[in-house]
A and B are shown apart, each in its own frame.
Chain A
Amino acid sequence: MGLLDLFRRTPPSAHVAKERLRIIVAQERGNRGGPDYLPLLRRELLEVIRKYVNVDPDAIQVNLEREDGHEVLELSVALPEKMRA
């Protein structure tokens, strides 16, 4: 890096790229191999829950886990802070 670069450089962006990729790749790998209906199921569940509680789109996790011979559909909803009070 040169002295003049200090004045004209844009802030380094590679670490932002890496973080974004790390998250999206992990998420997509998690959905991989699962049935195609999972994303839709997740969206519809979100709509239903939102009728009653205003939750964040990221607050719903739908996972399908395979454990020796049987499958477990795991649904986890994080409710907003003030709801719990």
Chain B
Amino acid sequence: MTEIIVVTSGKGGVGKTTTSASIACGLARRGKRVAVIDFDIGLRNLDLIMGCERRVVYDFVNVIQGECTLKQALIKDKRLENLFVLAASQTRDKDALSVEGVRRVLDELIADGFEYILCDSPAGIEKGAHLAMYYADRAVVVVNPEVSSVRDSDRILGLLASKTQHAEKGDGGVKEHLLLTRYSPRRVATGEMLSVTDVKEILGLDVVGVIPESTDVLSASNAGTPVILNENSDVARAYEDAVARLLGESVPLRFIEEPKKGFFARLFGG
């Protein structure tokens, strides 16, 4: 049984690729056979975040156009046995992806025994974003606690509910999950930032993860090591929890409250 999960958001720069890379690693580390596909045609980036940019020979579009086999294009991760990356093409041809082409690649991955296929969606609501979500069984909607990100993700929820195969078949639709990134408990406590509860209420989604704002995310992307692999990071722990919840485990939310401060720190706001 294969599950296809789209990581999407509408708005750019909220952490889709960071999330795709970390969830893929987290699932693979739990022994699942995982493929993660970059749907951002023309703007390949997942390979950099995964640290395999120099090993890209063939890409997603090459496979679809029959210029290589899927096996040739899948890049095996050097850290995790069961993890494979399919890079986006850098072609400027927007029509390089097609519904049938994507279906063929997904079918081949399913036949090959992959248990999870993660589709890293591009920003926006154009073709790439549409194709990334079209065959999804589940969606991880990445949201920053900020007005434009929340509004755009609601637009994406509308598309998930109408422009996907599950929606067209009318068989229960795509299962949607909310993943909040760049969360700052301190700013939530002072009333400057929307809280988990606020975003959850506005969008009406269940929360699969809350990732705290942290400099660890930039360090991880600098190094090409998905942040979930940084053992000392709260971000890694938060992503690990999100992976557990995706697998159906019940894990309480962490890192959503400001750490308790001492008397003097409180007095002076330190």
Q: Which residues of A contact B (CB under 8 A)?
A: 1-5, 9-10, 12-15, 17-18, 20-22, 24-25, 28-29, 32-33
| Shortest distance from the beta carbon of B233 to any chain A beta carbon, whole Å | 26
A5 to B192, CA, bound (A): 13
A28 contact set on B, CB distance < 8 A: 151, 154-155, 158
A21 and B151: CB pair below 8 A? yes
| Shortest distance from the beta carbon of B263 to any chain A beta carbon, whole Å | 11
> What 1/0 flags go to B193-206 for Cβ under 8 Å of A?
11100100111000
B158 and A3: CB pair below 8 A? no
B194 and A17: CB pair below 8 A? yes
| Shortest distance from the beta carbon of B91 to any chain A beta carbon, whole Å | 31
Q: Is B260 an interface residue (CB 8 A)?
A: no
- Contacts known (A24-B151, A25-B151, A29-B154); A14 close to B198, Cβ less than 8 A: yes
A22 and B268: CB pair below 8 A? no
Q: Is B266 an interface residue (CB 8 A)?
A: yes
Point out the residue from A4, A14, A25, A29 that lies within 8 Å of B192, measured CB to CB. Answer: A14
A4 and B269: CB pair below 8 A? yes
Q: Is B111 an interface residue (CB 8 A)?
A: no
B203 and A14: CB pair below 8 A? no
A1 to B154, CA, bound (A): 32
A20 contact set on B, CB distance < 8 A: 147
Give the 4 A-B residue pairs with the shortest CB-CB distance, closest first: A2-B269, A12-B191, A5-B269, A32-B158
Point out the residue from B188, B202, B266 that lies within 8 Å of A22, measured CB to CB. Answer: B202
CB neighbors of A among B125-169 (8 A): 146-147, 150-151, 154-155, 158, 162
A32 contact set on B, CB distance < 8 A: 158, 162
B147 and A21: CB pair below 8 A? yes
| Shortest distance from the beta carbon of B92 to any chain A beta carbon, whole Å | 29
In the assembled complex, 19 residue pairs joining A and B whose CB atoms fall closer than 8 Å, in A order, are: A1-B190, A3-B268, A3-B269, A5-B269, A14-B191, A14-B194, A14-B195, A15-B191, A17-B146, A18-B198, A18-B201, A18-B202, A20-B147, A21-B151, A24-B151, A28-B151, A28-B154, A28-B155, A32-B162
A32 to B157, CA, bound (A): 11
A18 and B268: CB pair below 8 A? no
| Shortest distance from the beta carbon of B247 to any chain A beta carbon, whole Å | 30
